[in-house]
Amino acid sequence: MSLVNPTFSPFSLSLFLSPQEQGKIQVIFNVGTDDIVIEEANVVVNDGKYHVVRFTRSGGNATLQVDNWPVNERYPV
């Protein structure tokens, strides 16, 4: 199962549920030179229930939250 927003922009965002990730949410975005990955490893979302996924991005900084779990933050190295 995949949820992807197709775009022609080089700064696109892909949100997907991958069988290889065993039902975990993972966001991959590009900051022009590298793909940045942020994921929620504690929540399985392929359980037949509704889930709320919040993703924010400002430049290379990103946050990801699933349901009411703590916010995951990702900053460029």
pLDDT of residue 9: 52
pLDDT of the residue at 16: 54
Write out the residue range of the structural domain in which residue 42 sits. Answer: 13-74
7 belongs to a structural domain = no
Cβ pair 25, 39 in contact under 8 A: yes
Q: Assess whether pLDDT exceeds 70 at residue 8.
A: no
Residue 8 lies in a domain: no
Residue 21 forms part of a structural domain? yes
Which range (9-13, 23-27, 72-76) has the least confidence? Answer: 9-13
The domain total for the chain is 1
Whole-prediction pTM value? 0.72
Give percent helix, percent strand, percent coil of the chain, each to the nearest 5: 5, 45, 55
Q: What is the mean pLDDT of the chain?
A: 76
**pLDDT of 22 strictly over 60:** yes
